Structure 1
Amino acid sequence: MDRGDGTEHGDAVAPSSYALVVLGGVSYLLLMANWFALAAFLDPISDQLGFTGAQAGALVGAIPLTYVPLSLLTGLVLDRVGARTGIAAALAVFGVAQFLRSFTVGFPDMLATTVLLAVGATAITFGLPKLVAGVFPPRLLGTMSTVYLLGSYAGIAAAYSVGRGILGPLLGGWRPTFRVLAVVSLAFLAVWVPVALWHAREHGTPYDEGSESAFSLTSVREDVAQVFAHRAMRLLVVVGTAYLLLAHGLQGWLPTILESRGLDPGLAATVATLFVVGQAAGTLVIPPASDRLGRRRPAVVGCGVAAAGGVGWLVVAESVVGAGAAVLVAGAAVGGVSPLIRAIPTEIEDVGPALTATAVSLIFAVGELGGFAGPFLVGTLRDVTGSFVPGLVALAVGATAIVLAGMGLPERTE
């Protein structure tokens, strides 16, 4: 029955839930600013600490690789302790990790502190879909996933434009910039914790009846088996792997790729930021349109086609304008598919909000193999061939997996 405000009984959303998700988006912004600070400063850090191309690629891919063993465990924990608690813990962990990264003097300690940052990153990545699924009805999942993902894109852009472009020169290099990012992240806990506690007390998780269930070996096994039993989930794992291959392969190396074509560092960073602009545009347009039309398969397939075309265009682009346009197209495709792989699992029967964190973590547990392979392949193939073209071709070929797996998704997951 209509309430007169555009919602129905049992499908209403507390206004403060929107504010909570916006704050969740800020936590994602802070995570990605800390995460991609390494990629933004990759050249000066590599020069100062003596990293090879393979070592630099391994560091850029270290966080995605850490997701492989940790993702499923994090998802299972979040489905039991709740998203609000998990996000608070994540802020503390990646804030401390970033602070420690600022003191590293070589490859082993940079790798160790980057892996620690990844531990906090997993709880943000899977906690936010869990949070949205618990406080919003299914009709709004794609749209609200867009909200927090915009925060992640803003964080990546901030790492390059604010971190490398402003804070680095102002503060005197990457070490003090890393420390400032760490302190801001830890300070945000003073905002998140009281708001999250108040919202939990006042509103709970109205769309997640299974939230914060008990730990037991039997329940863990049952949850994993239940999630993996669906063909749609297995196809989403393929889509997620290809998406992460592209996202991390491009985000980690774009400034360096563009500098290798003769662009000065400032212009290269600006063009690289267009990838984030494209992601934001794709995220703003594609998932809400998919929500309105109730069509998931064409959205996923279309993103795969555009991703392959954008990366292919970047390979042959000879001008700054052409490279910028190619980066925008690839970014829009990646940005469009990103919320979909987080929203679709909630719509699958026997998964739903109660197992959202476990389902999304399964996608990333396997998919981050692609997240590691992307930057590692680009760096290693550059070492072997002296060119970034083979790595970009590999990313374009990988994008076709999104098309093929997307074509196999049911029109309505059930």
Structure 2
Amino acid sequence: MREDVPLRSYLLVALGGFAYCCLTFVWFSLPAFLAPVSDALGLSGTEAGVLVGAIPLTYVPLSLASGLVVDRIGPFRAIGAGTVLFGIAQILRGIAQGFPSMLALTVLLGVGATAITFGLPKLVSELFPAERVGTLSTVYLLGSYAGTAAAYGIGRPVLGPALGGWRPLFVASGVAVLAFALCWVAVSRAFSAPRYGDDEPPSSVRRDLRRVFAHRELRLLVVVGSAYLFVTHGLQGWLPAVLESRGIAPAVAAAVASGFVLARVAGTLTVPPLSDALGRRRAPVVGCGVLAAVGAAGLLAADAGVPAASLAVAACGLGIGGVAPLIRALPTEMEGIGPRLTATAVGLVFAVGEVGGFLGPLSVGVARDLTGGFGPGVAGLAVAGAVMALAGLRLSDPAR
């Protein structure tokens, strides 16, 4: 196997990470400006909620199909096309006049988002040997975290007022995305580097689907991914309210909740490189599941105050952040999947997993309505973390 990876491969993955940063900035610009957007378009609470959840729900029916397309056209064209699509959608969202048009454009943005989500794992699987895919997957995930943070931390308080409101910001950010898309096309056309994996032509869609659905290890990874998204969306959607219900002041609860993001970054930076260095996948996935379960369970016992809640949030964030790159990297190493079917495999994980992403926050809210508290809902998140660990326990370590 070729061990020398040229510098330009690293630079291209970094550029792909910036594509993810652009995506999450435009994705979360709507939630960041939800109040003024709702006022301008006359949205009801239900309509606003539908808009916020529209992109994750788009992944459920489209993920598998998007993965199949990415595996056939390649990551370079997929990322370029996806970037153009969500850039145009963001510009048009800036001039939308009502709920139907805003919903349609947000769904269009979600379609472009799938090309980035599945194109980047495909890109890394082609440019790097399997034993380094986990570490390199952290690069584009850090880009996604940066874009999300920028939408809330810079877009809403700084760029929005400077540009004159949410509409000019949506248009300007969409134009910036299209400018980046041109840069991506120029760089990727001039790019040449060693590729990893097989070069056999794509087989039939039916054969690829049969191979993916029948793969035991991948089915276990689907369980891991579903539990990961269940905990991630369930906790990040309700964490400040959960902390306040444990007697923590709102301002302090917001600060502790921000620690969840920092802990996810720490997990993303540490777990995959350690997993790559040790050549182990099962133990890191199990460990991340245990951390998520213990952290969520710790929130149930956080009446002791801020230190206990902070430790619980940190444990859960480390587990969630650590497993996120591994979910995207593991298919590359699976016999019968490999780089050729990486995007399809990751697409399957998200097609099923985003159902968990939708049910996570929903279950916490329903449990609160039925019981008057967050205990049962948070306990469900802890159970999901345990499920992640149990599924990971049955995974196999790759042969080196």
Q: TM-score, normalised by structure 2?
A: 0.89
Alignment of 1:224-263 (within 5 A): 224-254=209-239, 262-263=249-250
> Cα 1:269–1:115, aligned 2, differ >3 Å: closer, same or farther?
farther
Kindly indicate whether residue 290 of structure 2 is the aligned counterpart of residue 305 of structure 1: yes
Q: Deviations over 1:374-395 (max 9, x none)?
A: 2333455556666555543433
Alignment of 1:129-140 (within 5 A): 129-140=121-132
Kindly indicate whether residue 53 of structure 2 is the aligned counterpart of residue 97 of structure 1: no
Q: Deviations over 1:321-352 (max 9, x none)?
A: 55444333322211110111111111111111
Aligned residue number for residue 196 of structure 1: 188
Aligned residue number for residue 343 of structure 1: 329
> Cα 1:44–1:92, aligned 2, differ >3 Å: closer, same or farther?
same
Aligned residue number for residue 407 of structure 1: 393
Kindly indicate whether residue 214 of structure 2 is the aligned counterpart of residue 221 of structure 1: no
Kindly indicate whether residue 163 of structure 2 is the aligned counterpart of residue 177 of structure 1: no
> Cα 1:185–1:325, aligned 2, differ >3 Å: closer, same or farther?
farther
Q: 5+ residue gaps in structure 1? A: 1-8
Count of residues in Structure 1 that have an aligned counterpart in Structure 2: 396
Q: Matched residues in 2 for 1:172 and 1:269: separation?
A: 27
Q: 5+ residue gaps in structure 2? A: none
> Cα 1:175–1:70, aligned 2, differ >3 Å: closer, same or farther?
same
Q: Matched residues in 2 for 1:377 and 1:42: separation?
A: 23
Q: Percent of counterpart pairs with the same letter?
A: 57
CA contact (8 A) 1:57 1:380 kept: no
Q: Deviations over 1:358-412 (max 9, x none)?
A: 1111111111111222233345555666655554343333222201211111233
> Cα 1:317–1:225, aligned 2, differ >3 Å: closer, same or farther?
same
Instruction: Determine helix, strand or coil for the equivalent of 1:61.
Output: helix
Q: Decide which of 256, 267, 275 is 1:282's aligned counterpart.
A: 267
Q: Decide which of 31, 37, 45 is 2:23's aligned counterpart.
A: 31
Q: Deviations over 1:198-242 (max 9, x none)?
A: 11xx32x6113337x45xxx6111111112222110000000111
Kindly indicate whether residue 110 of structure 2 is the aligned counterpart of residue 118 of structure 1: yes
CA contact (8 A) 1:249 1:375 kept: yes
CA contact (8 A) 1:154 1:276 kept: no
CA contact (8 A) 1:145 1:339 kept: yes
1:50 shift after superposition:
4.0
> Cα 1:297–1:363, aligned 2, differ >3 Å: closer, same or farther?
same
> Cα 1:329–1:164, aligned 2, differ >3 Å: closer, same or farther?
farther
Range with greater deviation from structure 2 (291-300 or 393-402):
393-402
CA contact (8 A) 1:90 1:123 kept: yes
Range with greater deviation from structure 2 (40-49 or 161-170):
40-49
Kindly indicate whether residue 381 of structure 2 is the aligned counterpart of residue 392 of structure 1: no
TM-align CA RMSD: 2.8
Which letter maps to 2:389? V
